[in-house]
Amino acid sequence: MKLLLSVLTGLALLSQANHAVAQAEAAKSKGLEQLFSSLTRFSIIDEGRSTTTEKVGEEHTVLFKASCEKIMKEGLRVTWLNSRNGKMKLQLRGIYTQGAALYFLLRLNNRSPLDYDVAGIRFLIADPAGRKNPTVIVGELQPMYIYDSNTLVRGYSRVTNVIVLPRFTLPRGKRLLVEVLEKNGGRHLQVAAGNFILEKARII
């Protein structure tokens, strides 16, 4: 009888341990799903001087605008993060940080007579799978604020804007892709950055 009780007690403890492990794994999985579900939203730049893509308080909006105006006066800080397609060029000119936000200074330069109609700008977290396999997109970051946005880059002109994202860093091996898509066209642009460039963000 004592042996039977010992066996039953051991089985009960083992069952509880397995249940606890299963709950922990489920919580971890749910957390990742919630994280990526909050990231995987497509970002469209709207017409206007400035715009927000999610609800932020008026105090934050005033702070974002003042910081963006200061950044727009800065010179080129990053020289190697650029992408060309035909006579269109995308430059990631600088990354800045303030509190819980990261500011990305972008410039689109159109050196052709054809207007460039921006369909969307996306900030993607990607996992470079290697030369033989395509890059896997694991998440998308939603901007909190966009300053001096414009959906049209006219021929022989350029547009500069600042996009504000929640502060983040990249897991080991992951990359940040900044993608600009052309509406009804194929002059898509993309620059890639690692965690190194994020960690060199300048404090505003």
Average pLDDT value for the chain? 79
Tens-digit pLDDT profile for residues 57-73: 788 899 999 999 999 98
CB 103 within 8 A of CB 154: no
When pLDDT is cut at 50, 70 and 90, the band that residue 103 belongs to is very high
Q: Of the CATH numbers 3.30.410, 3.20.20, 2.30.29, 2.60.40, which one belongs to the domain with range 45-203? A: 2.60.40
CB atoms within 10 A of CB 123: 20
Predicted TM-score (pTM) of the model is 0.72
Nearest to 143 by CA among 36, 38, 43: 43
For 6-10, 42-46, 166-170, 193-197, which range has the lowest pLDDT when averaged over its residues? 42-46
Q: Would you say residue 44 has pLDDT above 50?
A: no
Strand duo 116-127 + 175-182: pairing: antiparallel
Q: Is 166 helix (H, G, I), strand (E, B) or coil?
A: strand
Helix (H) or strand (E) holding 184: none
Q: Would you say residue 81 has pLDDT above 90?
A: yes
Domain boundaries, the chain: 1-39, 45-203
Q: Would you say residue 98 has pLDDT above 70?
A: yes
Which residue is it, tokens 């936000």? Answer: 101
